Structure 1
Amino acid sequence: MPKLLQINPVIRRNTSTGKIMQEIGELVTSRGWESWVAYSRGRDGVPGPESASALKGSKLLPVGSRLSVALHGLETRLLDRHGLGSRIATKRFVKAIKRLDPDVIHIHNIHGYFLNYKILFRYLAECGKPVIWTVHDCWLYTGHCYHYSAAKCFKWKTGCKDCCQRREFPTSWFIDRSAANYRDKSESFNSIPKDKLTIVPVSEWMGNELKASFLGKCNIQVIHNGIDTDTFAPQDSAGIRSRYGIGDRKVILGLASIWMKEKGFDDFVELSSMLSEDEVIVMVGKMTEEQKRRLPEGIVTIGRTDNVQQLAALYSAAVAFVNPTWQDNYPTVNLEAMACGTPVITYRTGGSIEAVSEDTGFVVEQGDVRGLLECVRKIEERGKECFSGKCRERALKNFRKQDRYEDYMKLYDNCLKK
């Protein structure tokens, strides 16, 4: 029976990477594999019986403790050494991997204050196991940051230094170690033999960025993220309209886990001043009290929600889903909106444009708020129904999570044949 080991700091289903890891585990166990998931005990604790049973066949391999996470966080804040703490926890983890002896090792994220990448990759370079690394953000090939598009910094192509985002995640209060971090990552991540490592970016955009990085000579294979197209499907929106006092107004929907400038908060504020009386912006996601005070009257706000049925109804209620993001890899909110029959309007940002075709939405240049409104009006004039069928059809053809997980299954099988 082949064994799969997946690695990610969190396993909770209300996190995107945790959910992906669990659902991949469900697929491989249904195919006769043994599934193990390694995660940060200091971040997620020890799941109770109900949570553990929800893993549906995957077995847990907890790493570290709350203390090791706290010390790793302190080392990050004081010395800019994110990914270089947790030495004892990682050595113990490597011993556990050796005992487990998995056939395939699949990394999702290793940043998150729980692993020492030098120790882990020293083992991965020598063990002879096939390693798959799904790239969910840009941290693995920069000297510090997890994304650089909004900052318009491209030092990662030649060598990081004088980091302009030192105070961003993973925050360093005093020291800029970006040049040394860049060299350390390049040495560690390139230490695995090229025929044993497959890097899987979640978008074509990120794949092209990786090819320009110090990992450019690695085997790179894009596998997009998928969504549950059974849950995210056209819904009756009458209830949601009544609940939030929307009435018959045309809904312009925006959604973010946490609203910030990079997700288009300021752009929605500007857009609100251009609307007619029969249009309304609905913003879903967590906001600070200061942000709430800045919002003009007329914008409907809904706090962050994990209720997917409610989200599907909100997507369905909208005449358009507007995503004025300034940095993104492959936002699943675009996919969810289209699966609910709602066209998407987005800035020309990273992988955000990849889901949108000519008959399912529009792409405008970053910062062109009036262009966003013009595209909304085009949809209103033609009627949302002219887009809905194509949106749903595209979602079913390209965004089903079952199909994307099958891509991973094929990749695992190919790794074992080498």
Structure 2
Amino acid sequence: MKIVHICTSLKGGAGTAAFRIHEAMLAEGIDSNFLCCDEINNGKKVSKIEEVVNQYARNLISRIFQKIKRIFLEYFNQRTIFLKQYNNAQGFLECEYSSTPYSNFDVLNNLLVKSADIIHLHWIAGLLDYPSFFQNVKKPIVWTFHDMNPFQGIFHYKQDEQRNRFNFGKIDLLSYKIKAKSIKSCNTTIKIVCPSKWLYKTAKNAKVLNRLEVATIPYTIDFHVFQKISRKLVRNKFNIPETETVFLFACQSVGVFRKGFDLLIDALKTVIENNITVIVIGEESIFDISNLKVRFTGTITDNHLLSEYYSVADAFIIPSREDNLPNVVLESVSCGTPIIGLPVGGIQEHILEGVTGILAKDISSIALAKAITKFLRIKETFDPKKIRNYALNNFGNLKVINSYLNIYHSLIQSQIIKDRI
């Protein structure tokens, strides 16, 4: 059985999560390939897809004389109008990220896709051309959602959609309709996988997906890489006293509003405790951190170094306003480090009060400050072994990959039966 994972990039949370699934499959002897837009040669069956003019658009002139002339011409005109409106909106959108259902990549013409038994989609913004892909794909599809974009319009999270509804609601709705029409035109089987129960429930209620099956499978992580390292050793390495309470925050870009670093700063300013150091991993941004001890490390890609930072911390704080299942949650508990977080998405699903961390009562700096204060009061009661055991029981490679294999096999059997009819 040949699997091809398709993801726009290896970078970012979605790319990291998708690649870890691919790596885990390779470790289990599965014939898995990874297709993305990045130029990389890591020896782990990753290939770069080349951008070409989509063959269905390229051959438009010859196709207008075929039976599908009217339908295809409508598609082309819609594409032109939409992209013009979208390009005009750039620079005015108030959002973390936006994307369109169109692309110049011809995914189906790639040799790895042609030879695969299962196409496993991940975060495909800017890579997948919805109309041509879903209308022409013949192979079974597994689609792991990493955010809400597959069943929304141009935005990737609900708050961005709501923030832009007044000015850009029409183009957002048009994008949604294009996606809905494209997915509805698909003649093969699509199985949706959500890494969190929150995203599962949200996807189940999405009209664009109303005929598709949805399952929940969490992300996976390499426990040999992410593990507890001697606290004394890493404290000495980073020159941090044993008496200091260390909180860790990590994000690709610290200034992203959705990730809530501003909530963390506001919360810490109200916490009555002098011996607190905050270590921040990610691209630095401008915040008022006066009277706080904050260390910015910049971006870290070395997983062993990340494990050292998780191990040096008393707790990992994740103040996201919206999130699916961030990789940092898995990384932290794998290293035996408790989490302090807000009641958001998949984060809240893995914070067992007093066992794996502390969950704030609501999404605010005040509630976060109370959660931090509670942690400071009971921090000695957290057991790193119990926290890591939670990770071992929930995010192990074998458990996650077997869940995917069950889906793959069921899709292939369904396809065989379908082909016989």
Which range moved further: 372-381 or 196-205? 372-381
Q: Is the 8 Å Cα contact of residues 336 and 383 (structure 2) preserved in structure 1?
A: yes
1:411 aligns with 2:402: no
CA contact (8 A) 2:101 2:128 kept: yes
Match of 1:379 in 2: 375
The root-mean-square deviation of aligned C-alpha atoms, in Å, is: 3.3
- Aligned equivalent of 1:232, options 226, 229, 241: 226
Identify the match of residue 110 of structure 1 among 121, 124, 128.
124
The share of aligned pairs that are identical, in percent, is 22
Counterpart Cα distance in 1 of 2:368 and 2:46: 47
**Is the contact between residue 325 and residue 347 of structure 2 (CA under 8 Å) also seen in structure 1?**
yes
Match of 1:171 in 2: none
The equivalent of 2:109 in structure 1 is 95
The letter for the 2-side match of 1:204 is: K
TM-score, structure 1 normalization: 0.79
Task: State the SS of the aligned residue for 1:322.
Answer: strand
Which 10-residue stretch deviates more, 403-412 or 134-143? 403-412
Cα deviation for residue 181 of structure 1 reads 0.9
Please give the alpha-carbon distance, in whole angstroms, between the structure 2 residues aligned to 1:295 and 1:323.
Answer: 17
Alpha-carbon offset, residue 370 of structure 1: 3.7
Deviations 1:338-390 (Å, cap 9, x if unpaired)? 12122111111122111111322121133443433333343333343533232
Distance 1:402 1:140, change over 3 A: same
Distance 2:362 2:113 in 1: 50
Shift in alpha-carbon separation, 1:240–1:62, aligned structure 2, 3 A: same
Q: 1:256, CA displacement in angstroms?
A: 1.2
Measure, in 2, the Cα distance between the counterparts of 1:59 and 1:331.
Answer: 23
Structure 1, residues 145-170: CA drift from partner, whole Å, max 9, x if none? Answer: 1011x45839xxxxxxx63585xxxx
1:208 to 193, 201, 204: 201
Unaligned runs of 5+ in 1: 155-161, 167-174
Residue 189 of structure 2 is matched in structure 1 by 196
Query: Is residue 107–residue 133 contact of structure 1 (8 Å, CA) maintained in 2?
Result: yes
Structure 2: state its 5+ residue gaps.
Answer: 56-79, 91-97, 415-421
Q: Tell me the equivalent position of 1:86.
A: 103
Q: Deviations over 1:184-242 (max 9, x none)?
A: 1111123335x711011111100100111121331001111122222222112345434
After TM superposition, give the deviation of residue 84 of structure 1 in Å: 4.5
Could you tell me how far 1:265 is from its partner in structure 2? 1.5
**Alignment of 1:120 onto 2:129:** no
Question: Is the 1:232–1:312 Cα contact (8 Å) retained in structure 2?
Answer: yes
Distance 1:76 1:244, change over 3 A: farther
2:315 equivalent in structure 1: 320
Equivalent runs, 1:237-276 vs 2, <5 Å = 237-247=231-241, 248-259=243-254, 260-275=256-271, 276=273
How far apart, CA to CA, are the structure 1 residues paired with 2:269 and 2:112? 60
Task: List aligned pairs for 1:349-364, cutoff 5 A.
Answer: 349-358=344-353, 359-364=355-360
Question: Comparing 202-211 with 361-370, which one deviates more in the overlay?
Answer: 361-370
| 1:295 aligned onto 2:289 | yes
Letter in 1 for 2:240: I
Q: Residue 202 of structure 1 contacts residue 330 of structure 1 at CA under 8 Å; is this kept in 2?
A: yes
3-state SS, counterpart of residue 4 of structure 2: strand
CA distance 1:238–1:73, change in 2 (3 Å): farther
1:7 to 1:30, Cα distance in 2 relative to 1, 3 A: same
How many residue pairs match? The answer is: 376
Contact 1:322/1:372 (<8 A) preserved: no
Partner Cα distance (1:102, 1:309) in 2: 34
**Pair 75,229 (structure 1): closer, same or farther in 2 beyond 3 Å:** farther
Cα deviation per residue 1:128-181 (whole Å; 9 max; x = unaligned)?
x21111101111111221011x45839xxxxxxx63585xxxxxxxx9511211
Question: Contact 1:75–1:85 at 8 Å: present in 2 too?
Answer: no
In structure 2, the residue matched to 1:172 is none
Letter in 2 for 1:224: P
Give, in whole Å, the separation in 1 of the partners of 2:212 and 2:30: 27
| Paired residues of 1:252 and 1:321 also in contact (CA < 8 A) | yes
- The residue number in structure 1 matching 2:87 is 77
Q: Kindly indicate whether the alpha-carbon contact (under 8 Å) linking 1:201 and 1:207 is maintained by their aligned counterparts in 2.
A: yes
Q: Matched residues in 2 for 1:34 and 1:231: separation?
A: 23
Which residue identity does 2:5 align to in structure 1?
A: Q
Determine if the alignment matches structure 1 residue 132 to structure 2 residue 142: yes
Counterparts of 1:157-172 in structure 2, within 5 Å, are 163=165
Is contact 1:328-1:352 (8 Å) kept? yes
1:333 pairs with one of 318, 328, 332: 328
Distance in 1 (alpha carbons) for counterparts of 2:390 and 2:133: 40
Q: Equivalent residue of 1:350, what SS? A: coil
Letter in 2 for 1:286: E
How many angstroms does 1:267 deviate by?
1.3
CA shift, 1:396, in A, is 0.9
Alpha-carbon distance between aligned partners in 2 of 1:370 and 1:339, rounded to the nearest angstrom: 28
1:286–1:393 CA distance, 2 compared to 1 (3 A): same
Q: Does 1:281 align with 2:308?
A: no
Name the residue aligned to 1:158. Answer: none
153, 169, 176: which is aligned to 2:162?
153
Q: Secondary structure at the match of 2:346?
A: helix
Q: Which residue of 2 aligns with 1:37?
A: 34
The separation in 2 between residues aligned to 1:367 and 1:24, in whole angstroms, is: 31
Amino acid at match of 1:309: H
Amino acid at match of 1:163: R
**Which is further off, 267-276 or 22-31?**
22-31
Q: Residues 295-348 of structure 1: CA distance to partner in whole angstroms, max 9, x if unpaired? A: 224222221211222221222222222111101011121222112122111111
CA distance in 2, matches of 1:147, 1:213: 14
Residue 73 of structure 1 contacts residue 82 of structure 1 at CA under 8 Å; is this kept in 2? no
Query: 1:4 maps to which residue?
Result: 3
Letter of the 2:3 counterpart: L
- Helix, strand or coil for the counterpart of 1:136? coil
3-state DSSP class of the match of 2:320?
coil
SS at structure 2 position matched to 1:121: helix
Task: Specify the code of the residue in structure 1 equivalent to 2:396.
Answer: R
